[in-house]
């Protein structure tokens, strides 16, 4: 499996506080069957200051350690970019490799609020798309407004955003509301990617398999595996993703 959303780099954001914790997380990922992951530290949210060179250096360091430990896992650079007005000036994205996933100047992981849907969201998606980028919206099922009215997500998909749901939402680790919302989106074929959004070895580990098992029961093995292998691989390589078959199996489970 490929995990495109992880806070795996030590001492850069609210991910692991030590190198040892980061390695422990990598061991958990390997045991879970994850072969590749993109490190996506928070960028531009006002809490953490980190630039491209630091991300690149930390990724190199982690890959060296993984090799020394004999762990079959490769980490790629990326970022979780805070969604704000600055993104309306996409020149910033053209000049900073790390802001896109694997520096491919294609996919941008946009940090999505847990409570608000910023009014400029649709405009940012549209503008990014028109400049050749593809926005990926992470953990949208954890947003309280989306939980109340999940059909909002259909509009973002129509505009060309890729929807990433967090594994622990599917399993119910974050409670009932995100679980129901994530399941509704899975049933309605609105989820292209399941990722871990891992932050720590214990509370938020890089584990995808439990969510995949549930997804297989809900949407079948072929569709479920696309969310952790085919689509993440295309995102990693900067290839265009096939548009999901929109709303083909609408079930009102909420
Ligand atoms: Fe994240």
Q: What is the pLDDT of residues 118-145, one digit of tens each?
A: 888 898 899 888 888 999 999 999 999 9
CA of 154 relative to ligand 1 center, distance in Å = 22
pTM over 0.85: yes
Ligand 1 ion: residues within 5 Å (CB): 80, 197
CA of 168 relative to ligand 1 center, distance in Å = 12
- Phi, psi of 77, rounded to the nearest 5 degrees: -80, 150
Query: Hey, what domains does the chain have and what are their CATH numbers?
Result: 2-236 (3.20.20.140)
CA of 200 relative to ligand 1 center, distance in Å = 12
CA of 239 relative to ligand 1 center, distance in Å = 22
Query: Strand 36-39's sheet: what is its strand order?
Result: 2-6, 36-39, 74-77
Which residues share a beta bridge with 135? Answer: 108
The CA–CA distances, whole Å, from 31 to 48, 50, 215, 248 equal 30, 30, 20, 34
CA of 43 relative to ligand 1 center, distance in Å = 10
In tens, the pLDDT along 71-108 reads 999 999 999 988 877 766 656 666 666 689 999 889 99
- Predicted confidence (pLDDT) at residue 165 exceeds the cutoff of 60: yes
**C-alpha–C-alpha distance, residues 232 and 176, integer Å:** 26
CA of 35 relative to ligand 1 center, distance in Å = 19
CA of 155 relative to ligand 1 center, distance in Å = 22
CA of 96 relative to ligand 1 center, distance in Å = 19
Average pLDDT over residues 108-113: 88
Dihedral (CA of 160, 161, 164, 170) sign: negative
């Amino acid at each position: 499996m490929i995990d495109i959303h992880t806070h795996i780099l030590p001492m850069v954001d609210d991910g692991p506080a030590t190198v040892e914790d980061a390695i422990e997380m990598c061991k958990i990922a390997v045991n879970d069957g994850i072969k590749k992951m993109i490190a996506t530290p928070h960028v531009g949210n006002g809490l953490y200051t980190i630039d491209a060179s630091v991300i690149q250096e930390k990724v190199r360091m982690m890959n060296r350690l993984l090799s020394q430990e004999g762990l079959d896992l490769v980490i790629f650079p990326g970022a979780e970019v805070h969604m704000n007005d600055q993104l309306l000036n996409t020149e910033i994205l053209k000049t900073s490799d790390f802001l896109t996933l694997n520096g491919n100047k294609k996919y941008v992981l946009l940090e999505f609020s847990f409570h608000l849907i910023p009014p400029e969201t649709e405009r940012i998606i549209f503008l990014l798309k028109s400049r050749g980028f593809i926005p990926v919206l992470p953990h949208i099922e954890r947003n309280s407004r989306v939980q109340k009215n999940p059909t909002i997500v259909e509009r973002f998909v129509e505009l060309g955003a890729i929807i990433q749901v967090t594994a622990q939402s599917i399993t119910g680790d974050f409670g009932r509301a995100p679980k129901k919302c994530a399941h509704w989106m899975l049933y309605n074929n609105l989820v292209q990617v399941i990722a871990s959004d891992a932050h720590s070895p214990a509370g938020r580990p890089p584990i995808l398999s439990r969510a995949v098992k549930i997804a297989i029961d809900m949407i079948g093995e072929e569709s479920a595996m696309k969310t952790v292998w085919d689509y993440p691989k295309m995102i990693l390589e900067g290839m265009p993703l096939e548009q999901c078959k929109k709303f083909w199996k609408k079930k009102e489970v909420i």
